[in-house]
Amino acid sequence: MPSRRAFLLAGAALGTGAVLAPSRTSEARVLPAAVAPRTVALSAREMDLHLLGSDKPATRIYAYDGELFRLIRAKRGDELEFTFDNHLPEASTVHFHGIRMPNEYDGVPTLTQPVVAPGGRFTYRIPFDDPGTFFFHPHCDETGQVGRGLAGVLIVEDARDPKFDAEHIFCLKDWRLAEDGSYLAMSEPDGASKAGTYGATRTVNGVPALDLKAPANSDVRLRILNLDSTRVMDLGVEGAEAALIAVDGHALPPIPLDKLPDSIWRFGPAQRIDLHIRMPEVGKSVQIGDYRAANIYHFATLTAEPSSRSKRPFRALALPPPKLPQPDLKRAERLTFTLQQATDAAVKEVGLPPDDPLAKALIDTLCVGSTTYWAISQESWPTGEKRNLPPPLAKLGEGRSYRVTIKNGTRYPHPVHLHGHAFAVIDSSSGRLPKHFADTVLVQPDETVEIAFVAAPGDWVFHCHILEHMETGMMGWFRVV
Ligand code: C2O
Ligand code: CU
């Protein structure tokens, strides 16, 4: 891995040395940046969107650059410099979810950066070493800001990918709306302390459902993102042969959907999948939906239109295998964490002393929730007036391998996310999970999941991605030195 100094020199050679921010940690790049970083302006603002239908009142949402789920495409090996301008009426930050990057750009208030106040700016310099389907979102008042729509899509393209005839991106998100287009409370105690507060207005790319066309017998790539704050979905396809080809952006050997338990892929907030589907013959259509809810939500229909492609046996197109640090499972150190309710956990009141700058800044930024319902192994992220940022869940050694067992001691599913890493999902007590790389893993009630990774330097949070759970305590952090 190139040293920090090598990077500065490379940057200087390209005439870009001056824009490199001082780093608290060493660089985490795998690929050398091919060219000087491209600058992308990212400004968060309010805008009106008709979510209830064009004849119904509009809703005031939050978006980046006036585009719901702003789409950014990068190429594997690119490095982009994002100039984030906060035009929202509240503080925010940007977190590039699932991207392996220097810790200083991770977007976690107080741990990695100060919040960006209204009118403020922060520059993120993000390397894209891993191809795939990713997204970005704020890391402050997430229930409120993501609840109002603030998220963007990041596609990292790979020239080595097989060729598909077409591609569609589906961003799934429910909204908490009243009939007049205004918001219902983003969080209710009964939701926050249980499965989460659901939105009843279901959308894909901001509309109730999509009716699309694709060439008959063609190979279509679907990138499906669960951008909801709360809802776990069972993704299924009817009317076409389909295979799962990537999870959280990372390729896996294709698995035909009908080989998965119940022929669905269960995924929670923040998780993404890529599917390869083979379109049927002319005039026939394919339905894609969430089969978990009592009422199946068919969010997209793809109808086959005439094409020159002829009918042939389906063989899933495999994406190139990911080039990720491979944990050494034999020598890895083992750690175990339990997801639990704060009441059961008898949360320890030890933490950083209240006058510790980190603990104090955390509260002053308002980036914490108001109540504690959840914990990870008896530690809760601070909420309300509680200024005790807990000590790290563990101190890890840079470059060393870890096997982390995550036990779900609650009655609800939790999609657990680790920042700054792609981890290997190596085992699940239910036997339901194939081996794959991911940045978020759904741990079901009573289930135990084991993940493994090579620790990258920095302070990285580890949390449930049901945003209310995270903001009411189910978050901790690892210090990697
Ligand atoms: Cu998308 Cu802290 O996460
Ligand atoms: Cu949770």
Residue 324, in any domain of the structure: no
pLDDT band at 390 (very low <50, low <70, confident <90, very high): confident
For residue 475, the ligand 1 atom closest to its alpha carbon is 2
Tell me: pLDDT of 95 over 50.
Answer: yes
User: Does residue 177 share a domain with residue 139?
Assistant: no
Same domain assignment for residues 109 and 172: no
Distance 476 CA to ligand 1 centre (A): 12
Which CATH number characterizes residue 353's domain?
Answer: 2.60.40.420
Q: From the CA of 415, which ligand is nearest?
A: 2
Closest ligand (CA of 232): 2
Task: Tell me the CA–centroid distance for residue 145 and ligand 2, in Å.
Answer: 18
pLDDT tens, 301-313? 999 999 999 999 9
Give how far Cα 12 sits from Cα of 78, 246, 397, 399, 467, Å: 17, 37, 30, 27, 41
In a domain, 440, yes or no: yes
Q: Does residue 343 sit in the same domain as residue 266? A: no
Domain identity same for 175 and 152 = no
The per-residue DSSP string of 133-202 comes to EEEEE-SSSHHHHHHTT--EEEEEE-TTSPPPSEEEEEEEEEE-B-TTSPBPPS--HHHHTTT----SEE
Q: How far is CA 318 from the centre of its chain?
A: 23
Task: Please write the tens of the pLDDT for every residue from 202-218.
Answer: 999 999 999 999 999 99
* 316 in any annotated domain: no
Total domains in the fold of the chain: 3
371 domain-assigned: yes
* Exposed/middle/buried for residue 411 (C-beta within 10 Å: 0-12, 13-18, 19+): exposed
Regarding whether 189 and 113 lie in a shared domain, the answer is: no
Q: Per-residue pLDDT for 28 more than 50?
A: no
Give ligand 1 pocket residues (Cβ under 6 A). Answer: 95, 97, 137, 139, 270, 417, 419, 461, 463, 465
**Ligand 2 center–CA 377 separation, angstroms:** 14
Residue 144: its pLDDT value, please?
95
pLDDT of residue 357: 66
What pLDDT score does 294 carry?
84
Characterize 67-95 residue by residue with b for buried, 16 or more Cβ atoms within 10 angstroms of its Cβ, and e for exposed: ebbbebebebbbbbbbebbbebebbbbbb
C-alpha 137 to ligand 1 mean position (Å): 8
The protein residue whose alpha carbon is closest to atom 3 in ligand 1 is 97
CA–centroid distance, 279 to ligand 2, in Å, is 36
Which of 106, 138, 157 delimits the end of a domain? 157
Surrounding residues of ion ligand 2, Cβ less than 5 A = 414, 464, 466, 469
- Both 89 and 217 in one domain: the answer is no
> Considering the domain boundaries, does residue 191 fall inside one?
yes
**Last residue of one domain, picked from the residues 286, 305, 324:** 305
Report which bound ligand comes closest to the CA of 470: 2
Same structural domain, 145 and 46? yes
Judge whether 325 lies within some domain: no
Coil, helix or strand for 341? strand
The CA 12 to ligand 1 mean position distance, Å, reads 32
Evaluate whether residue 377 is within a structural domain: yes
Same domain, 124 and 46: yes
Ligand minimally distant from the alpha carbon of residue 474: 2
Give the nearest ligand 1 atom to 440 CA: 1
- The residue range of the domain holding 421 is 333-480
Q: How far apart are CA 261 and CA 246, in angstroms?
A: 17
* 214 burial level (CB within 10 Å; 0-12, 13-18, 19+): buried
Mean pLDDT across the stretch 19-38?
A: 48
Q: Does residue 179 share a domain with residue 149?
A: no
Helix (H, G, I), strand (E, B) or coil at 99: coil
Q: Of 157, 191, 224, which closes a domain?
A: 157
Given this model, what pLDDT does residue 46 score?
98
What is the band of 388 on the pLDDT scale with cuts at 50, 70, 90? low
Asked if 8 and 153 sit in the same domain, the reply is yes
Q: Are residues 263 and 394 in the same domain?
A: no
Which residue's CA is the closest to the ligand 1 atom numbered 1? 97
Question: Pairing state of beta strands 374-376 and 414-418?
Answer: unpaired
Do 235 and 376 reside in the same domain of the chain? Answer: no
Indicate whether 228 pLDDT > 80. Answer: yes
Q: Please indicate, yes or no, if residue 315 is contained in any of the structural domains.
A: no
Q: How far is the CA of 470 from the centre of ligand 2 (A)?
A: 7
**Could you identify the atom of ligand 1 that is nearest to the CA of residue 137?**
1
Backbone angles phi, psi at 10, to 5 degrees: -60, -40
